[in-house]
Chain A
């Protein structure tokens, strides 16, 4: 037997040769090569997603388990929500530096309990609830405030008719009362910039002694206080800063020690928020309390400007954890401004983050500091910015890279399955004929007539009711089940004509069985069509999956391109402003969907040109 049949190696050789010949033809089609190139590119993205994308796609956090205050497995967010891309700083027409802004407000007089209140609302927004004009940006200088009265006259307000509290640089209070419906236009100068995140502490868990060297420290009593690196006493025994205080005799004054880290804040605009985390443990006799102060300093020409954030007493005991975030004003007792960052980082300059420990009692005390972190969140992040997920905004670039996987898997698998089903049913229907044929074709007709998207919506929502969620496998199955009909039809018609050809007749005469004829004589002739259909039905599946996710009917646990777009839709910013301001949220994902779909169509078209020679002759 082995002599006549080609060996496995030879067979592979033939296959390889055939493929080379095919590729030679394929290379001639520019469209086909472009398509293949794009598909290969996206496949690489999908395979190497964990290497390419810097963050997780669904629930990205930095330093999981390293921020015990937030929980045992939680980390901190990677960036603020709705950040713009960092490369905006290289774009010449993005305004940076001082800009003039104009904002409009209306006022509303409300009478309650015999009292009159004047409320202000932003024009275009629903409700007036503020007692001040709340501007979107911090004011550097107010140029003018114009009031337009209901009777049509207007005038500029005099400087004594409004007030800008230096502690609240976003709020202008109007001193006088104006008639109901008066409109105010505020023109002011403000700083605007592309602010990136600043991580002030390089290694906040103090895993090595070098991490301690980043810090500088000074004390009022160098002979009594010492600050060292301790490699064992940290939270989870991984190293920390140890401060020991050994008073001798009576001192008569409170000793203190300040750990500080200097950094530069180079931006014209205040950051969105900042975040501080610390774990502290005090060792000593029960009444040896210490006081912990956390603050920012700003260097100025004369005296440094001080921004105290928190001052808390700490009793001896095990590690306790706490965090300060500028979006939780109740924690920031001493920062009176909201958002707090307005005052602190009002201008560019050199700042110092410092932690001060005060020893009110003259007792031997050891203080351990660990997980001491301070991050400033700007308004720009990553290659494509972030979305609005709370509390952990997602990096859009990572979402897109991981989304490639879903689109490719759903597209290719459902195309593959539906083509196979179509092939099988078409073969059966064409070759067997009779009542089977009639049944299959009528069923196909029925499915073809049904409007796809509404049916899918109904199916998926029904599944959601029962199972709670839809997985991408459900979606693949659904797309497959409603995708085989037109291919089955064309296979059937092809089989019908092939069945009558002479070579099939000959095979029949030679006594070949039905299966043999299908396998050996009909299938090879149909297969050209299979490749083309495979390629051309992938885009449909990709777009269908994206459309379903766009409507919020996708698998919520996997990051797909459509889900990014749904988040945009559901965020409420979708209309008008959203598109211009947050184009980077939707357009990259849209372009990816379109590119991938186009690539498969181009491939299919090129295959069709090669495998369907009739078309080639005509052109």
Chain B
């Protein structure tokens, strides 16, 4: 089987995962004893008759279970996520046009920086294993690993936003943009940047400790291999050995972890966004919690899961392309 077959297989696997996510969503909301969705929609009846009828139709609550299931499959696949109770707009519009791009930007920036910085430090630390730097960095990353992200965020707000006053405490864009939108590109970039730096830094700190530990472990795994000894015997420079021979081989398990860490970062992003009132999926989650809006939460989970599944798909492909030892199939 060639590369095309490999991609096809991964693609099928991805589709199965998407189907599983939709099914899980359906199971949680319709099969849990007491049927949460029905309870939720029935709770709405007193408040808003029109809304109640609309939701009932959207979820097909008057139809038998298997038809409900097929309806939910169709709704989810076509991103027909219903109409928002608060704004009256399509939930999918709100998510795709505003929330998701913001979240992806935030997560992209912080994930990429945390991977690069974490891997660099990890390599250095693994090379100087047993030194003071090593012990220090490992302890630091163990600590960042175990410090809850809201604590990191609060400390960062406290230091950089309140004490030093360098950046705003929260928001996505400067509040004045509502009245007078930015006129030139530089203003747009600086305005957005000043609001994204602190949450991105928080997420970065949340993620990079794990990368240090992982890189260190992977490098230690390969550094004692025979070919490294051979390289050394050949008289290659330490730097060449480290980056060309060791890191290249150690990087493979790291690639798979990129996708998994994406799922991990999603959890962090939800809390970070709430903390910084950053207008993304996380803030939407927080807003959908009081009072609980089940359909919105369901959509958020579905979209975020889709993103993670897609990231996994890309990582799988990358892995296949990067590692010549992977036999397609």
Q: Is B130 an interface residue (CB 8 A)?
A: yes
- Docked-complex contact A543 and B305, CB < 8 angstroms: no
Complex contacts, A590 vs chain B, CB 8 Å: 148, 150-151, 154
Pick the interface stretch among B26-34, B73-81, B88-96, B185-193. B26-34
Q: Is B3 an interface residue (CB 8 A)?
A: no
- Docked-complex contact B129 and A618, CB < 8 angstroms: yes
Contact sample, A vs B, 14 pairs, CB 8 Å cutoff: A450-B21, A451-B304, A452-B263, A453-B271, A455-B24, A458-B298, A462-B28, A462-B294, A552-B290, A575-B170, A593-B151, A594-B151, A601-B142, A601-B146
- Docked-complex contact A449 and B312, CB < 8 angstroms: yes
Complex contacts, B150 vs chain A, CB 8 Å: 547, 550, 565, 590
- Docked-complex contact A462 and B145, CB < 8 angstroms: no
Q: Is B176 an interface residue (CB 8 A)?
A: no
Task: Given A453-B270, A466-B39, A575-B170, answer yes or no on A594-B292 (Cβ-Cβ < 8 Å).
Answer: no
Q: Is A467 an interface residue (CB 8 A)?
A: yes
- Docked-complex contact A465 and B263, CB < 8 angstroms: no
Q: Name the CB-closest residue of B to A462.
A: B36
Question: Contact mask A583-605 → B, CB, 8 Å, 1/0?
Answer: 10011001101100110111001
Complex contacts, B17 vs chain A, CB 8 Å: 446, 449
C-alpha spacing A451/B312, complex, angstroms: 12
Whole-angstrom distance between the Cβ of B136 and the nearest chain A Cβ: 12
- Docked-complex contact B286 and A551, CB < 8 angstroms: yes
Task: Given A579-B157, A619-B130, answer yes or no on A446-B170 (Cβ-Cβ < 8 Å).
Answer: no
- Docked-complex contact A579 and B301, CB < 8 angstroms: no
Which residues of B in the span 140-174 have a Cβ within 8 Å of any Cβ on A?
Answer: 142-143, 145-151, 154, 157-158, 161-162, 169-170
- Docked-complex contact A597 and B267, CB < 8 angstroms: no
- Docked-complex contact B267 and A547, CB < 8 angstroms: yes
Q: Is A248 an interface residue (CB 8 A)?
A: no
Q: For B34, B147, B169, which residue has the most chain A Cβ atoms within 10 angstroms?
A: B147
Number of interface residues of A (CB under 8 A): 50
Task: Given A449-B309, A458-B297, A461-B297, answer yes or no on A579-B158 (Cβ-Cβ < 8 Å).
Answer: yes
- Docked-complex contact B300 and A454, CB < 8 angstroms: yes
Closest 7 CB pairs of A and B: A453-B267, A597-B146, A466-B34, A462-B36, A590-B151, A451-B266, A465-B36
Say which residue of A455, A551, A597, A605 sits within 8 Å of B274 (CB atoms): A551
- Residues of chain A whose beta carbon lies under 8 Å from any beta carbon of chain B: 31, 446, 448-455, 457-459, 461-467, 539, 543, 546-547, 550-553, 565, 569, 575-576, 579-580, 583, 586-587, 590-591, 593-594, 597-598, 600-602, 605, 615, 618-619
Complex contacts, B20 vs chain A, CB 8 Å: 446
Complex contacts, A458 vs chain B, CB 8 Å: 25, 28, 297-298, 301
Q: Is B240 an interface residue (CB 8 A)?
A: no
Q: Is B201 an interface residue (CB 8 A)?
A: no
C-alpha spacing A324/B147, complex, angstroms: 46
Say which residue of B147, B154, B298 sits within 8 Å of A586 (CB atoms): B154
- Docked-complex contact B260 and A453, CB < 8 angstroms: no
C-alpha spacing A458/B289, complex, angstroms: 10
Complex contacts, B127 vs chain A, CB 8 Å: none
Q: Is B35 an interface residue (CB 8 A)?
A: yes
- Docked-complex contact B148 and A546, CB < 8 angstroms: yes
Complex contacts, A553 vs chain B, CB 8 Å: 289
- Docked-complex contact B271 and A451, CB < 8 angstroms: no
Q: Is B285 an interface residue (CB 8 A)?
A: yes
Q: Name the CB-closest residue of B to A464.
A: B292
- Residues of chain B whose beta carbon lies under 8 Å from any beta carbon of chain A: 17, 20-21, 24-25, 28-29, 32-37, 39-40, 43, 129-130, 139, 142-143, 145-151, 154, 157-158, 161-162, 169-170, 220, 224, 260, 263-264, 266-267, 270-271, 274, 285-286, 289-290, 292, 294, 297-298, 300-301, 304-305, 308-309, 312
C-alpha spacing A576/B161, complex, angstroms: 8
Whole-angstrom distance between the Cβ of A326 and the nearest chain B Cβ: 32
- Docked-complex contact A457 and B148, CB < 8 angstroms: no
Complex contacts, A31 vs chain B, CB 8 Å: 139
Q: For A446, A462, A539, A579, which residue has the most chain B Cβ atoms within 10 angstroms?
A: A462
Could you list 18 further interchain pairs (A-B, Cβ under 8 angstroms) beyond the known A457-B289, A552-B290, A594-B148? A449-B263, A450-B24, A451-B263, A453-B270, A454-B300, A455-B24, A458-B297, A461-B294, A463-B36, A466-B32, A539-B145, A550-B150, A579-B157, A590-B148, A590-B150, A597-B148, A615-B220, A618-B220
Task: Given A547-B150, A601-B145, answer yes or no on A462-B32 (Cβ-Cβ < 8 Å).
Answer: yes
Complex contacts, B130 vs chain A, CB 8 Å: 619
C-alpha spacing A467/B162, complex, angstroms: 41
Complex contacts, A615 vs chain B, CB 8 Å: 220
Say which residue of B34, B145, B154, B270 sits within 8 Å of A467 (CB atoms): B34
- Docked-complex contact B145 and A454, CB < 8 angstroms: no
Complex contacts, B162 vs chain A, CB 8 Å: 576, 579-580
Task: Given A466-B39, A579-B162, answer yes or no on A459-B28 (Cβ-Cβ < 8 Å).
Answer: yes
Q: Name the CB-closest residue of B to A593.
A: B148
- Docked-complex contact B143 and A461, CB < 8 angstroms: no
Complex contacts, B161 vs chain A, CB 8 Å: 576
Q: Name the CB-closest residue of B to A450.
A: B305
- Docked-complex contact B289 and A579, CB < 8 angstroms: no
C-alpha spacing A615/B220, complex, angstroms: 9
- Docked-complex contact B292 and A461, CB < 8 angstroms: yes
Q: Name the CB-closest residue of A to B300.
A: A454
Q: Name the CB-closest residue of A to B264.
A: A452
- Docked-complex contact A594 and B285, CB < 8 angstroms: no
- Docked-complex contact A465 and B292, CB < 8 angstroms: yes
Say which residue of B34, B129, B148, B157 sits within 8 Å of A543 (CB atoms): B148
Complex contacts, A446 vs chain B, CB 8 Å: 17, 20
Complex contacts, B170 vs chain A, CB 8 Å: 575
Say which residue of B32, B40, B146 sits within 8 Å of A598 (CB atoms): B146
C-alpha spacing A452/B145, complex, angstroms: 16
C-alpha spacing A462/B296, complex, angstroms: 12
- Docked-complex contact A466 and B271, CB < 8 angstroms: no
Complex contacts, A461 vs chain B, CB 8 Å: 36, 289, 292, 294, 297
- Docked-complex contact A575 and B271, CB < 8 angstroms: no
- Docked-complex contact A462 and B29, CB < 8 angstroms: yes
Q: Name the CB-closest residue of B to A579.
A: B158
C-alpha spacing A546/B271, complex, angstroms: 11
Q: Name the CB-closest residue of A to B290.
A: A552
C-alpha spacing A450/B25, complex, angstroms: 11
Task: Given A450-B21, A450-B263, A619-B130, answer yes or no on A457-B297 (Cβ-Cβ < 8 Å).
Answer: yes
Task: Given A450-B21, A458-B298, A465-B40, answer yes or no on A598-B142 (Cβ-Cβ < 8 Å).
Answer: yes
Whole-angstrom distance between the Cβ of B59 and the nearest chain A Cβ: 14
- Docked-complex contact A454 and B148, CB < 8 angstroms: no
Complex contacts, A569 vs chain B, CB 8 Å: 274
Say which residue of B34, B35, B40, B142 sits within 8 Å of A602 (CB atoms): B142
C-alpha spacing A259/B110, complex, angstroms: 69
C-alpha spacing A551/B304, complex, angstroms: 18
Task: Given A451-B266, A601-B145, answer yes or no on A466-B129 (Cβ-Cβ < 8 Å).
Answer: no
Say which residue of B39, B289, B298 sits within 8 Å of A551 (CB atoms): B289
Whole-angstrom distance between the Cβ of B242 and the nearest chain A Cβ: 16
- Docked-complex contact A575 and B146, CB < 8 angstroms: no
Whole-angstrom distance between the Cβ of A581 and the nearest chain B Cβ: 10
Q: For B17, B130, B150, which residue has the most chain A Cβ atoms within 10 angstroms?
A: B150
Complex contacts, B158 vs chain A, CB 8 Å: 579-580, 583
C-alpha spacing A580/B154, complex, angstroms: 11
C-alpha spacing A553/B148, complex, angstroms: 16
Whole-angstrom distance between the Cβ of A78 and the nearest chain B Cβ: 26
